[in-house]
Amino acid sequence: MPLKRFALAMLVLPLVAIAARACTIPVFRYALERWELTAYEIVVYHEAPLADDAKAWLKKIESGPPVADVRVETVDLANDVAKSYKDLFDRFGKSQPLPWVAVRLIDADPSIPPAWAGPLDRAALQAVVSSPTRLKLVDRLKTGESAVFLFLESGDKALDDPARALIDKELARLAKAIQLPEQSAEGPQLRTGLPLKVGFTVMPLKRDDPAEQAFLKILFNSEEDLDKVKGPIVLPVFGRGRLLCSLYSRDINATQIANVTRFLCGECSCQIKELNPGIDLLVPADWPDLLAKAGPPAIVRPDTPAPKKKQK
């Protein structure tokens, strides 16, 4: 479903949080190690048979590289069509020339606009699956970064510069001020050897970047009317590529930035992904492989004696 305003989500979350047992793992790390991203599907609507070369490159996009959890579904409108696909087409694609493509979360309600839609075009769909900013995003998150704050510039320096300065200042302060929960021997345990640390990255994104137009469309479609915001937008992403919320206008302030970071760095009180705020993005990453490369956590028994110092 589309994102809701973060302040509302934060108020609702404690009421629905379910914790079968205590968990001292921070939200950002629990999400990275345990929350699998919901798959996206590329739905191709057609009446005339698809050309063999189109079928071949659609298969390549589905299987990677880059590796992303995306499935391809071809829908022949000349035959009977499953209701969910028919509803999606009737609402958003009926006036479009065929073949027409809709990219959406695989479990999305057909009444929700697709994350991306357009004609069947190889280059366009490759840009939907991967882009330079998303590759950089994955590079930061796979190191155990607490969150990457996408800073979507408006193009107006009078609006962008003070907002960016505030974000940089507050994240630097919070990175030093926030203390992660002390890890308990009870409850869920860390699964990888990545360092458990507080770290934030700000990643600028221009609205007119030709290489990011598909990704921008996915971001804008994550929340109703987000594309109508005139000023800068801050989009915190954590875990394996989960967009927590959007901050813009008066929401770009020290209090809301602190709310976001303290939520992500606090204990994971609700271990059920769907009961946490956020929406999964389409990112080019083989997360099981990336996390396996990080190795297992270093386990040190409490009664292990400290190493002796060498005698000079």
Which pLDDT does position 85 carry in this prediction?
97
Which pLDDT does position 66 carry in this prediction? 81
Dihedral over Cα of 2, 16, 8, 149: its sign:
negative
Question: Residue 90 has what pLDDT?
Answer: 97
Tell whether the model's pLDDT for residue 2 goes beyond 60: yes
Tens digits of per-residue pLDDT, 254-288?
999 999 999 999 998 776 787 889 999 999 999 99
- In sequence order, the β-bridge partners of residue 235 are 150
Contacts of 177 (CB under 8 A, 6+ apart): none
- Which of these ranges, 118-127, 158-167, 249-258, 265-274, has the smallest mean pLDDT? 265-274
pLDDT band at 6 (very low <50, low <70, confident <90, very high): low
% of the chain with per-residue pLDDT over 70 = 88
Sequence letter at residue 71: R
Do 6-36+132-293 and 40-129 come out as alike in CATH topology? yes
Q: Is the pTM of this model over 0.75?
A: yes
Q: Which fold has domain 6-36+132-293?
A: Glutaredoxin (3.40.30)
Task: Specify the pLDDT at position 299.
Answer: 61
Q: Please give the pLDDT value at position 4.
A: 57
- Determine the Cα–Cα distance for residues 67 and 79; give it in Å rounded to an integer: 32
Average pLDDT of the chain is 90
The answer to whether the CB of 244 falls within 8 A of the CB of 277 is yes
Question: What percent of the chain is predicted at pLDDT more than 90?
Answer: 81
Q: What span, in angstroms and rounded, lies between the C-alpha atoms of 286 and 307?
A: 38
Cα of 2 vs its chain's centroid, Å:
13
Whether 198 contacts 146, CB under 8 Å: yes
Domain locations in the chain as residue ranges? 6-36+132-293, 40-129
pLDDT digit string, tens, across residues 181-220: 999 998 999 999 999 999 999 999 999 999 999 999 999 9
Is residue 302 scored above 80 in pLDDT? Answer: no
The encoded tokens of residue 111 equal 């009444």
- What pLDDT does 178 receive? 97
Report the CATH fold assignment for 40-129.
Glutaredoxin (3.40.30)
User: Residue 11: which pLDDT band, with cuts at 50, 70 and 90?
Assistant: very low
